[in-house]
Amino acid sequence: MGFQKILSIFIALMTLIVCLAYMINVVLVSNMKTNTIDMQKAIVTYAQVNGGFCDSNQTFTEFYNDLESKFNMKNNISSISFSHPIGEKLQRGTKFTVSITPKYTIILPFVENQTRIGKEIIRSGYSRNFRKELENP
C-alpha cells in the first residue's frame, strides 16, 4: 500500500509540473505574439506617416532598437524585413509590407530550454506621407 501511494503522489507531481510548464509556455508565446503585433503596428504607423524610413534624425536601426526595448522584444526577433529599401522616400499611396519572424523559448521540464522560430507575421500599409518637407529659404 505504501509503494502505490508514493507512486501515485509521484505521478501526480509529474503531471502537475508538465501542466504548469504547458500553461507557462502558452502565456509566454501569447505575450510574445501580442508584443510582435504591437511592434509591427508601430513600424507600419511610422512608415505611413513618414513615407518609409528616410528620417535624417533617426536611422531605422535606432528606431528599431527603441521599439525593441519599448515592447521588451530584445533577442525575441529572428528576422524583420521592410519591402522597400531603407532610406528611400515612399510616394503617397505606395503599398509596403513589414514582416517579422519572432523567436521564442519553450520551457520543458527536466530538459534544456529550446529556442523555436515562430511563423512570419506580415502586415501591409499605404504611405500617407504626412510629413512636411523642409523648405529651403
User: If we measure between CA atoms, which residue out of 62, 60, 114, 103 comes closest to residue 79?
Assistant: 103
Q: How far apart are CA 44 and CA 133, in angstroms?
A: 20
The parts of the chain modelled with pLDDT lower than 50 are 134-137
pLDDT of res. 11: 94
Give the per-residue pLDDT at 98: 84
Domain ranges of the chain: 2-126
- Note the pTM of the prediction, 2 decimals: 0.67
